């Protein structure tokens, strides 16, 4: 299988992290979203929404959206629970991740580090802060987000939570979250290969769907 991937994207990183945790081989295709790579007709045929990541299976089928890719890859592994209620809780936290972690922390981090729309940073930051507060309360008496082991809910939330300091969050205010982040790094197969945004992500240099 083939992963169309941008190495500075938290959404792409979460897929790479799960692939490493489950020990799955794949071909990685670098996509520079700020150089216009997702604007080509070829990429549009893979994903009409023109976003990364995109997982192309050996038979040519395509899965898009990071959390959908996580679910597909985790099926039949320890990272997706079997029980109906636990699976519902996984979906619950995947939704939380997109709204609070990606939309809040990820958005504030992206806008801050690339010098975009500074007036939009504060509302994004507030969304992320509410998310961290909720996650802190949830993790105070448990080791992982759903059940008693790491699931794709943890993998997904980790992607943006672990870089929250880049957006100005003080994780010392969230000790249960900080302990959980440390716990995640001890998992067999753990990787952290998320890179900083490059210069071409800045306004005036970028050619992407975000401009």
User: Could you tell me the pLDDT band of residue 210, with boundaries at 50, 70 and 90?
Assistant: confident
Mean pLDDT for 60-66 is 98
* C-alpha span between 211 and 198 (Å, rounded): 16
* C-alpha span between 151 and 144 (Å, rounded): 8
Stretch(es) of the chain classified as CATH 1.20.1050.10: 84-184
Distance from the first to the final alpha carbon of the chain: 30
Phi/psi of residue 13, nearest 5 degrees: -60, -40
Q: Residue 118: its pLDDT value, please? A: 82
Q: Would the CA dihedral through 60, 64, 66, 72 be positive or negative?
A: negative
Stretch(es) of the chain classified as CATH 3.40.30.10: 2-77+193-201
Q: What is the pTM for the complete model shown?
A: 0.96
**CA–CA distances in Å: residue 31 to residues 18, 43, 156, 168, 191:** 19, 9, 21, 28, 20
Q: Residue 116: its pLDDT value, please? A: 84
* Of 36, 33, 25, 32, nearest in space to 2 by CA: 25
Residue 193 in contact with residue 6, Cβ under 8 Å? no
* Of 23, 135, 22, nearest in space to 79 by CA: 22
Beta strands 27-30 and 2-5 are parallel
Q: Residue 8: its pLDDT value, please? A: 97
Yes or no: is domain 2-77+193-201 CATH 3.40.30.10?
yes
Q: Which CATH number fits domain 84-184: 1.10.3230.20, 3.40.50.300, 1.20.1530.20, 1.20.1050.10?
A: 1.20.1050.10
The proportion of the chain whose per-residue pLDDT surpasses 70, expressed as a percent, equals 100
Residue 196 predicted with pLDDT over 90: yes
Residue 188 predicted with pLDDT over 90: yes
pLDDT mean across residues, the chain: 97
């Amino acid at each position: 299988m083939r992963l169309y991937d941008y190495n500075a994207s938290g959404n792409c990183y979460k897929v790479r992290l799960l692939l490493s945790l489950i020990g799955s081989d794949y071909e990685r295709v670098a996509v520079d979203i700020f150089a216009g790579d997702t604007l080509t007709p070829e990429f549009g045929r893979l994903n009409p929404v023109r976003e990364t990541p995109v997982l192309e299976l050996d038979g040519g089928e395509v899965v898009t959206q990071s959390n959908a890719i996580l679910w597909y890859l985790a099926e039949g592994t320890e990272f997706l629970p079997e029980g109906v209620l636990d699976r519902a809780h996984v979906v619950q936290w995947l939704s939380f991740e997109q709204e609070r972690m990606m939309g809040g922390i990820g958005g504030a981090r992206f806008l801050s580090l690339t010098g975009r729309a500074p007036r939009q940073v504060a509302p994004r930051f507030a969304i992320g802060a509410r998310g961290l507060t909720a996650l802190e309360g949830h993790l105070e008496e448990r080791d992982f987000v759903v059940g008693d082991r790491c699931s794709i809910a943890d993998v997904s939330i980790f992607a943006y939570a672990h870089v929250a300091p880049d957006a100005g969050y003080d994780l010392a205010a969230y000790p249960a979250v900080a302990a959980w982040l440390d716990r995640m790094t001890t998992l067999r197969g753990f990787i952290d290969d998320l890179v900083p945004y490059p210069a071409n992500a800045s306004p005036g240099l970028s050619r992407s769907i975000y401009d």
